[in-house]
Structure 1
Amino acid sequence: MGRFIDSWRSHLLVTLSGNSDGRPKWVEQIATGDDPGFFGPGSAAWAVHGGMATMVAGIRALLMQTLHPGAMAGVHDWSRYHEDPLGRLSGTIQWLVTVTFADTVVAERESGRVAHFHDRVAGSYIDARGEERSYAAGDPELLSWVHVVFTDAFLQSHLLWDDAIPGGADGYVREWAIAGELIGVQDAPHSADELAAQLEAFRSAGTLKSDARVADAVRFIRYPPLSRGMLPFYNIMFAGAVASIPREYRDMLGLKRSRLPVIWGTRLVLGVVRALLGPTSTSEDAALDRIARIERAQQLGHPSEP
């Protein structure tokens, strides 16, 4: 049993961070810098993105993103998710964690990296009305859609499976609007009500659609190339993510809520993961080290050394 647990923990760390010790190379930059960052300890962003529910939130966000044909075209045309799914996952995690825990300079630099990648992502797609439209990853509509479904997924997952959020749901949405603005999102929601209204606006306007591309992406998310030992746990979290999605979107995705108690089962799996990985992440630890260094330097009356 001990060997199985060690193996499963190693597989989990590689999946989430790219290496078996759970400390990817980019964590080192989180320890550098001279300010607490855009959020800091005790913030809503730290609470949500440092929680275990992020594992389910990522699944929900990926599923929801597929419903915008422009966003789906960008993934289909430019992403190598079939060939390198963990590479794409790692890139997304890097941006999320860096903006959350790094100092402001590093967070802005990481957001610039993402925006620069978006510069070359362009093409055309057939919209929900059957008309051909051009797209670019930096289009305001696409940036808004990705930000809204991302924020909604992480918020709703945390409310279902994790502890209270400092400042509540409004606090998280308001804080994470900063991250959206860093990559060019216009009119990012600043409250839970605004978030819900913007999400509903995409649906009621007839912008979203389901087609063969969506079905292929959903199938890939449903059956990712994970190790055999991780699949049973992933299957439960996938079912939990599906159960957390409102029915109108589940129907578009061609997914049905399981009749089994998957919300409870997901909570159990996340508890196991928390026991294996510990209460804090290497990224949060690096951020706390940076902040402690800054505070020591301030007490001594001289600038901190990065």
Structure 2
Amino acid sequence: MITLPHRKLARTLAARLERHFDTQVRSRFFRGLEFATPEGDPGWFGPGSAVWYVHSHTPLLSFGLACAAFLEGLDPSIYWMGVQHSRLTARGSDGKPTGEIDPEGAAVRFGHSLSFFIGTAYGSTATAERLARTVRAMHHTVKGTRPDGLPYDADDPQWLRWNYATVVWGLATAHERYHPRPLRGKDLDRYYGEFVRVGHALGGTDLPTTKAETLGCLKEALPRLAVTPGHAARTGPNLRDTSTTLLTGPFMDWAIRDTLPDWAARMVMHRPPNPVEREARRAALRLLFNGAQSLIGPIKEFRQAQARVAGGTTGAPTAPAYKPGTDPARTRDEAEAMA
């Protein structure tokens, strides 16, 4: 039984978390996104969709994005795209990448990612289109050459397919592993099938639409994958370093690597503990993720979307309008100004 003082403490913590999200994420990365109107607009997915259900658990959405980013980074081209084009990598006084993670850059990347996957799920049709247009504009500028002389291009169909597969896999796997009432089997495949709209909106083609297809797509890329410098630096001993917090330290690093497909886990030399200890760790994570969700509840954007369609929808969810090759050419500065 929850006592009155405990309820007050829970309400206080929830209010503080909401204020933190509002000042650190919503005010910076949700500007101009519309969730409350127009009335009846289902957006890209609408009520009753698997995407609305999966993305409504904000802690697991965040964790799934972290899992996706870890797996994605096994592609050397993606690693060097990040080093040479992203704020994620710190730079020295000479402007050259140092190889270290820039905390502010990491926060910006996470904020934009979260707003994108919340906005495309729950935002109005116009909001979803705007977000996709912005991400495509950024991708169009990411072209270059790796240190080994191989070129990369963020518009390459092979890269788009790999990138899409890592994201949908990460989000679905986090949900399936830790949600208190996860979708499974055909219901989970419905999520994979719905989410493909996001991949198409970013220019992807020949995208996987089921869990089995996605796992196959990921493993097909194995010949061109590698343990990049970033992953080598991040793959340390499990649970031995206590100098960082639960959310950023070795325990969460272990949690991310624990979700990897077997072949990817072997690449980063991830060795699971015995089954009893592994399940104890997973149980602790379930308590953490679901306790956080119970505390904060559905975020404001989800509640606004529910209210927007409470009286019914004006029609079926709309497919993304983008036709590959139709975006205007933009500079990096112009693309960043769209965010």
TM norm structure 1:
0.80
RMSD (Å), alpha carbons: 3.2
Aligned mate of 1:100, from 115, 121, 134: 121
Structural mapping, 1:126-145, within 5 Å: 132-145=149-162
C-alpha contact 1:66 1:217 (8 A) present in aligned 2: no
Q: 1:283 corresponds to which residue? A: 301
Aligned mate of 2:208, from 181, 184, 189: 189
Structure 1 residues 154, 143: CA separation in 2 closer, same or farther (over 3 Å shift)? same
Q: 2:92 corresponds to which residue? A: none
Return the letter of the residue paired with 1:180: G
- The unaligned stretches of length 5 or more in structure 1 are 299-306
* Residues 26-35 or 3-12, more deviating: 3-12
Q: 1:170 corresponds to which residue? A: 189
Alpha-carbon distance between aligned partners in 2 of 1:28 and 1:256, rounded to the nearest angstrom: 42
C-alpha contact 1:13 1:20 (8 A) present in aligned 2: no
Q: CA deviation at 1:239?
A: 2.5
Q: 2:336 corresponds to which residue? A: none
State whether structure 2 residue 246 is matched by structure 1 residue 232: yes
Structural mapping, 1:154-169, within 5 Å: 154-162=171-179, 163-165=181-183, 168-169=187-188
Alpha-carbon distance between aligned partners in 2 of 1:268 and 1:65, rounded to the nearest angstrom: 27
How many residues get paired?
281
Using CA pairs below 8 Å that are at least 6 residues apart, which structure has the higher relative contact order?
2
Structure 1 residues 239, 10: CA separation in 2 closer, same or farther (over 3 Å shift)? farther
Alpha-carbon distance between aligned partners in 1 of 2:207 and 2:22, rounded to the nearest angstrom: 29
Alpha-carbon distance between aligned partners in 2 of 1:213 and 1:61, rounded to the nearest angstrom: 15
C-alpha contact 2:33 2:123 (8 A) present in aligned 1: no
Aligned mate of 1:79, from 81, 86, 90: 86
Q: CA deviation at 1:134?
A: 0.8
Q: 1:198 corresponds to which residue? A: 217
State whether structure 2 residue 265 is matched by structure 1 residue 250: yes
Q: CA deviation at 1:216?
A: 3.7
Structure 1 residues 28, 117: CA separation in 2 closer, same or farther (over 3 Å shift)? closer
Alpha-carbon distance between aligned partners in 2 of 1:61 and 1:123, rounded to the nearest angstrom: 23
Alpha-carbon distance between aligned partners in 2 of 1:62 and 1:13, rounded to the nearest angstrom: 27
C-alpha contact 2:29 2:111 (8 A) present in aligned 1: no
Alpha-carbon distance between aligned partners in 1 of 2:133 and 2:193, rounded to the nearest angstrom: 21
* Residues 159-168 or 87-96, more deviating: 159-168
Alpha-carbon distance between aligned partners in 1 of 2:141 and 2:309, rounded to the nearest angstrom: 36
Q: 1:113 corresponds to which residue? A: 134
Q: CA deviation at 1:234?
A: 4.6
TM norm structure 2:
0.73
C-alpha contact 2:38 2:124 (8 A) present in aligned 1: yes
After superposition, what is the alpha-carbon deviation per residue over 1:70-94, rounded to whole angstroms, capped at 9, x for unaligned?
Answer: 1111111111123321111001111
